[in-house]
Amino acid sequence: EEKNEGDAQRVEVYFCQKCKKEVRFPRFNNPIKLLETRNGRCGEWANCFALFCRSVDLETRFVIDNADHVWVEIYSNEKKRWIHCDPCENVMDVPLMYEKGWKKELAYVFAFAKDHVMDVTWRYTFDRQKTTKRRKQVRPIVLINFFNKLNARLQKNLSSERKKVLEERFLAEIVEFILPQNNLRKKSEENQGRNSGSLDWKVERGEAGIDSCVGDSLVPIMITPSQNEIDSKCFEIIYDASKDEYSRTNDTNLSTKKWESQIYEVENIFRKIENDWKKAYLARKQGKEKGFLVWKINLKDLKIKQIEICVNSFKVENGNVFGIVCCGSQCQRLKPNGIIKLDDIKEADYLELRLELSGGNGENSWQHSQLFRTDLNNSEPGLKIKVEFE
């Protein structure tokens, strides 16, 4: 019924961690059906907005990128060019917002109209050299030939007047793409992060923008054992990726949310949730060769009996996970079983744990090395740092 009425090609199921209920979310593609449901994300917004534009006789394109976002372009007879419109973000004519503001690493952006298709990647990117390096899924000449054949088929029955209009616009658009400076706009939205969606979701996707990105704005955290932990002669901190939470075994009042809340230093890392596989883990950002995290624990004036660290990691396809812990004059690398033990520590001001992710093959190499991978519904601690005091 959902497929017939609303052209729902798939149905997503979401599980609420608070109320423990599942919610069905049919991804309707028919904009008429969406006017009834009034529910959806960027795809549904773009679908409805395209319908409205077409209804008032505006020439409209439906635009999709390789990184899971869609929007619309409309042709301006006054400006003689196609205008970027993102109805989900309430933004118009700010094409570099995704690259500069959201920090998206775009490779392919395609625009679909009723009588033509167009590779518009160069409207939405400024760093042409980096963009070109990311375009590895198909050889350029093959892509160009495919688009030419597809356009010839779409325009087969068009009038000569319409064909001439499309040809003139095509040439003007190619000229526009030559200089990346043509994409710049004097608007503050160019550097803004994503508006739609929760902050957690935007940070997870790396689309929250400059001000809220983990890294440059991170305040280094030196974890300090509390008096309760010192009195119990045991400091233990545990991170659970499914809950995105740190817990303290001997001082529950010091539990904190967010993986970055106890980090001393980090680069190119984010938390990934796989709703289809029901998994959560930390990984390096897509397109980055390496990512790392550092935890630092203040041990000044404390007598240490023993340190034990357990790290749950996951590697496939030549992915690499490198770990090293240093305390006082001792340093040890992470063993294959993910366990590090240190004893006979005479004096140390702090304990430092550094984990690095690298390696892997192909476009999904960032997924080939993971930290703290666990089930969403049956989680296990991914990181445990335990320090026993004398």
Q: What is the pLDDT of residues 299-310, one digit of tens each?
A: 999 999 999 999
Instruction: Give yes or no: residues 148 and 255 share one domain.
Output: no
Question: Tens digits of per-residue pLDDT, 336-379?
Answer: 889 999 988 878 999 999 999 999 998 889 999 999 999 988 88
Instruction: Give yes or no: residues 218 and 180 share one domain.
Output: no
DSSP reduced 3-state for 19: coil
108 touches 119 (CB < 8 A): yes
Low-confidence winner among 179-188, 328-337, 367-376 (lowest mean pLDDT):
179-188
Instruction: Give yes or no: residues 226 and 171 share one domain.
Output: no
Instruction: Give yes or no: residues 99 and 227 share one domain.
Output: no
CA distance 61 to 157: 20
CA distance 142 to 283: 33
Instruction: Give yes or no: residues 57 and 121 share one domain.
Output: yes
pLDDT confidence of residue 43? 78
pLDDT confidence of residue 364? 85
The structural domain count of the chain equals 2
The stretch 105-122 carries a mean pLDDT of 96
Instruction: Give yes or no: residues 126 and 238 share one domain.
Output: no
Q: What is the DSSP string of 56-82?
A: TT--EEEEEETTS-EEEEEEETTTTEE
250 is in which domain, residue-wise? 214-389
Domain boundary among 159, 191, 223: 191
CB atoms within 10 A of CB 18: 5
Do the strands 265-267 and 11-15 form a parallel or antiparallel pair, or are they unpaired?
A: unpaired
Question: Tens digits of per-residue pLDDT, 249-296?
Answer: 999 889 998 999 999 999 999 999 887 788 999 999 888 899 999 999
Instruction: Give yes or no: residues 186 and 223 share one domain.
Output: no
Helices (H), the chain: 2-6, 31-37, 42-55, 128-134, 140-154, 160-178, 199-205, 227-231
| In-domain check, residue 32 | no
Tokens of 149: 């054949």
Instruction: Give yes or no: residues 238 and 376 share one domain.
Output: yes
CATH number (domain holding residue 117): 3.10.620.30
- Asked whether residue 203 carries a pLDDT value surpassing 90, the answer given is no
The stretch 163-170 carries a mean pLDDT of 96
Band of the pLDDT at 210, cuts 50, 70, 90? Answer: very low
Distance between first and last Cα of the chain: 68
- Asked whether residue 237 carries a pLDDT value surpassing 50, the answer given is yes
pLDDT confidence of residue 274? 85
Instruction: Give yes or no: residues 377 and 233 share one domain.
Output: yes
Instruction: Give yes or no: residues 247 and 382 share one domain.
Output: yes
Band of the pLDDT at 39, cuts 50, 70, 90? Answer: confident
| In-domain check, residue 11 | no
Instruction: Give yes or no: residues 272 and 376 share one domain.
Output: yes
Residues catalogued as catalytic: 42, 69, 86
| In-domain check, residue 236 | yes
Q: Name which of 25, 26, 16 is nearest 377 in CA terms.
A: 16
CATH number (domain holding residue 244): 2.60.120.1020
